Structure 1
């Protein structure tokens, strides 16, 4: 039966001018997308794991290991704005691709801009740092939403195979993050920052070329919309027999308020790092008494946002309104999850650098090197096998794409081999700060299938319970850090075991919560409103990321005033309380969902 499905799928793809060769039961185009996403994530996470560490490392004149000597508050403000904008820019990139560019050109444009951004990051000057971050935000806006759009279009006639395709695609995300953080981090911390930032840019460039040269594999998928298609989309009418499908267009007041709240929100995003790094306050005009202008501005934007949401909700039919309220409840609680989980990009990096004993010698070094070798070689060998299968299937159709891929993996093996050789021949070594960050990707790859099997069994809990479990399980990781750091005093460092366990529980929490959200947005919201609600969902994640960086930047201040254990207790107690509340809300949410499971 499976072979018959594969044959019919292949034949259907060939009719559309798409390469019909199957690789591991899926079209070759899926694996082109897999590797394009892998190299983009390699670059993104390779840079991400370095940024806060680089900004806060002490200034050492003339040294390749010299940082900028910022305090964590300044670094958190800059990183938080960058992370926040990364989740907002795809809203605009998706609109441009849908209406004008097409998905494939949008991906190439985004990848090219991101390559330029990584190139800028390799230069050690403030101007190029800010230009690089801006280019990465803009490039992500074009790249991120359109990769999954290409994948979805490819599987349009075979929805039964789509879940498996997304699982494979998600593995590409984690493989890229894993190797990016490992290798960019190693080069940066062992040779110099420029090498780490530069390597991220090189693989982003190669990933872009690999995708561009693979155009013959995709046929017309992702091409710019024709004039006829644009006219048809514009003329599309709602189903008059279904009152729940009735359009709810934005009024002039809605549009005006959205513009105002967007300007206030962006003003806050830029003013936060400007005021903390350069003492430039562009929102001082909004100051009221002792309340800084930027906080008045963002609270005003929040009030306007709530007003617009409520005014729109009351214009929908009861069923649609209730289901949208359920999505809003999920979106609200997702803020608390990412506020805590994203400490991995800020405070946990500083914790690993300053408070964890990373020095190894003798047998402990041998054990670590053995584990690290297995962690590196086994997944790299498996992915190389996929490259071999893809090359064998598509070399005649897209040889240049395959040659770029071969060059990428030859370089990856060479860098990984050099890293392992260097560590095995050392008498003593200090584990890199960035190494701990790879644990999230490793644990996802290890446990994703197991968690998925639980959700498919009779033990599958309701959405609210999954959310609550995700928050509570993640909080356990911070609770372990709080326990491990209890009573810590100057000059004493904790065992790395605490950080490894923390990442384990953070990942298990992510697997409980993260895949659920977007799934329920698509189930609960009518098709014509999905783009709007996805935008709101990503806005919630953007807020969570900004809060994470702000709070993470307070690690030194809270540690000096109270203790390091107190700092981690914040991220233990808040998610647990949020998790318990969302579980208790299950009867209400179930009622609001009107039968959607």
Structure 2
């Protein structure tokens, strides 16, 4: 065994993998719990009436702020990745990110104007430090066991989706049913638990993720044999200018709308200053990207062009897919019949109990297996993790019990009902929270991911273009469902009672589309781009994701204008047509992109 071998991680495995994988699993789970829990509430909180504890913003302003927030989250990963690689190492980056996010959620729980904005800023930087470095630690741990990587990432991805599921379910429930502060605060509590668990068990990773030093940096450079093409001063200047313009635009867009035009950084450029700024930034970046292509060999250049093509498609994917916390949540809240009676109420309560308790039981079993291997060495981390699961079980059981009381299946005294703000009912009645539908994405991913994985490994594995085409087609199918379901809503209507089956179908088809695009996108970056350029191309990829996120908000901003003039169905049909057009474009371009990929699948 070589001195730098990672085989020692596999001496005492848990489910065939290093115990360190499950430390990352639970840390990432609590981070996703906090991220998706808060995200599911933000638009609802901003648009809810002041009398119900919200800010009573217009949907346009709420979407603008939300879009800038999620866009900055993805852009900040480049900053966090740089600091981790060059200065503080992966571990400190994770801890710093987790601490910033904990403070961000705590700040939002105070619900003042200043603390909400401060919380969002802290969450942006926290995600930037945290997000790219968890997978970096995981990758290093398996560098000598590449055959185990697929299984490791599958388990890790389950942690991601488990956290998202429970975050949306519990934070969303508390925020909607009890109070916004409780939902925002709960997200911060579990982020804090995740940070402590990681901190007290970090030695399980050996030397992985420590601060970089001169020796490790030089060793990494010796392994890199790709042609060097350092950025020249003028290129760095173009990057700086386009980055500053883009950042100012992302901040200025919601500020201008929220302030009614009183705050406008680009006012000196005239009425269309915002548009001029962002178009200039994009043109500068595209010029630089095209120039960089000319600095490499033909094959490398063509592979990078293929990556750029998929990044371009990704913009449209996220712009449509990320209607989930935006226009689809608004649709669920205002236009969907979420009240179930009689047998439908019984069926929902039973189903909700099963989808809450069974995943939690499975993850608790994994936790027990981890305890058996690591408790003697990492007692503090295990006790913190155990305590967090006790709390999550208590909250989940409280939520389910409260639902049964609310529906009239369990009895309470009139005084207790009044204290708990539960109305007395004469027949089984359940109101499904608007945020509940967002949990379906995580459930469908966990259920369907193994099937799609088998498909990719079979002889019927489609080409990259076909995968993107199928993914965008499924996205179109989902939007067509909600467009058809909302066809009876009159233009200008503020409420409706559309069947919830349409939303369930949307999340089913959109999740299938996500499985065709999201997991395979970054894989193509790593396969097509040589090591020397991979950081730059990952930057291009995350820039595309950020543009898509902001694009989703820009779609959401116009929902009221379009719905008032043409009807809500028209809005969703527009998104359907855009998705379908991109799907067809991806398939048509298959022969061209196949040549550019030079045999990479």
Q: Which residue of 2 aligns with 1:3?
A: none
Give the SS at the match of 2:322: helix
- 1:309 Cα deviation from its structure 2 partner: 0.9
Contact 1:217–1:397 under 8 Å retained in 2: no
Tell me by how many angstroms 1:225 deviates: 1.4
Change (3 A) 1:14 1:257: closer
| Aligned residue number for residue 424 of structure 2 | none
Indicate if the aligned counterparts of 1:238 and 1:247 stay in contact, CA closer than 8 A: no
- Select the residue among 267, 277, 284 that pairs with 1:284: 267
For 2:230, the equivalent position in structure 1 comes to 249
* 1:274-353 equivalences in 2 (<5 Å): 274-278=255-259, 279=261, 280-287=263-270, 291-353=271-333
Q: Which of residues 342, 348, 366 in structure 2 aligns to 1:362?
A: 342
Once residues 252 and 217 of structure 1 are traced to their aligned partners in structure 2, the CA distance between those partners, rounded to angstroms, is 42
1:242-298 C-alpha deviation (Å, 9 max, x unpaired): xxx3222212211111111011101100100110001311111122xxx52111000
1:265 and 1:51 map into 2 onto residues whose CA distance is: 24
CA distance in 2, matches of 1:58, 1:527: 51
Q: Write out per-residue CA displacement over residues 549-591 of structure 1, whole angstroms, 9 at most, x where no aligned residue.
A: 1111221111001111000011100011011011110000010
Match 1:529 to one of 526, 533, 538? 533
Residue 254 to residue 362, structure 1, CA distance change in 2 (3 Å) = same
Match of 2:68 among 54, 71, 81: 81
Aligned equivalents of 2:14, 2:6: Cα separation in 1: 14
Partner of 2:415: none
**Which one of 184, 204, 210 corresponds to residue 197 of structure 1?**
184
Tell me the equivalent position of 2:247: 266
> 1:24 aligns to what SS in structure 2?
coil
In 2: Cα distance, 1:41 partner to 1:23 partner: 22
Which one of the candidate residues 7, 13, 24 is aligned to 1:22?
A: 13
The count of corresponding residues between Structure 1 and Structure 2 is: 574
CA contact 1:19–1:217 (8 Å) conserved in 2: no
Displacement of 1:474 in angstroms is 1.1
Counterparts of 1:226 and 1:300, CA distance in 2: 39
C-alpha distance in structure 2 between counterparts of 1:28 and 1:561, whole Å? 57
Q: Please say if residues 19 and 373 of structure 2, whose CA atoms lie closer than 8 Å, have aligned partners that are also in contact.
A: yes
- Asked whether 1:133 is paired with 2:120, we answer yes
- Which of residues 41, 48, 53 is equivalent to 2:32? 41
Deviation sequence 1:204-258 (CA, Å, 0-9, x none): 101110111112322221111123223444x64864xxxxx32222122111111
Deviation at 1:369, TM superposition (A): 0.2
- Using the TM superposition, give the Cα deviation of residue 439 of structure 1 relative to its aligned residue in structure 2, in angstroms: 0.3
Asked if the contact 2:24–2:134 (Cα under 8 Å) also holds between the matched residues in 1, the reply is yes
The alpha-carbon deviation at position 14 of structure 1 amounts to 7.1
Q: How many Å separate the matches in 2 of 1:214 and 1:455?
A: 35
Query: 1:555, 1:415 → 2: CA distance?
Result: 35
Please state whether the residue corresponding to 2:50 is helix, strand or coil. coil
Which residue does the alignment assign to 1:122? 109
1:145 to 118, 132, 145: 132
Query: Match for residue 58 of structure 2?
Result: 71
C-alpha contact 2:104 2:122 (8 A) present in aligned 1: yes
Q: Matched residues in 2 for 1:77 and 1:284: separation?
A: 18
Look up the match of 2:420: none
Moved more, 31-40 or 547-556: 547-556
Q: How far does the alpha carbon of each residue in 1:504-556 deviate from its partner, in whole angstroms, 9 at most, with x for none? A: 00000000111111111111100111111011000000000001011112211
CA shift for structure 1 position 52? 0.4
**What residue in structure 1 maps to residue 482 of structure 2?**
481
Residue 576, structure 1, aligned to residue 576, structure 2: no
Q: Which residue of 2 aligns with 1:242?
A: none
Match status 1:498 vs 2:502: yes
Q: Tell me if 1:185 matches 2:189.
A: no
Partner of 1:5: none
Distance in 2 (CA, whole Å) between partners of 1:500 and 1:449 is 21
CA–CA distance in structure 2, aligned partners of residues 492 and 173 of structure 1 = 34
Partner SS, residue 102 of structure 1? helix
Are 2:549 and 1:545 equivalent residues in the alignment? Answer: yes
Mapped to 2, the partners of 1:373 and 1:93 lie a distance apart of: 39
* Whole-angstrom CA distance in 1 between matches of 2:223 and 2:213: 19
The question of 1:445 aligning with 2:428 is answered no
Aligned Cα root-mean-square deviation (Å): 1.5
Inter-partner Cα distance in structure 2 for 1:492 and 1:440: 24
| Deviates further, 246-255 or 351-360 | 246-255
1:181 deviates by: 0.2
State the distance in 2 between where 1:334 and 1:349 align: 22
d(CA) in 2 for partners of 1:275 and 1:236? Answer: 49
Match of 1:214 among 195, 201, 205: 201
C-alpha deviation, 1:103, in angstroms: 0.7
The 8 Å contact of residues 10 and 17 in structure 2, kept in 1 or not, is answered as: no
Aligned to 1:55: 46
Contact 2:6 2:144 in 1 (8 A): no
Q: Return 5+ residue gaps in structure 1 as ranges.
A: 1-7, 240-244
Equivalent position SS for 2:430: strand
2:23 — aligned with what?
32
Q: Which residue of 2 aligns with 1:558?
A: 562
* Whole-angstrom distance in 2 between the partners of 1:218 and 1:28: 9
Question: 2:340 is paired with a residue of what secondary structure?
Answer: strand
SS in 2 for 1:360: strand
The CA deviation string for residues 148-177 of structure 1, in whole angstroms up to 9 with x for no partner, is 011011111100001100010000000000
Q: Match of 1:153, SS?
A: helix
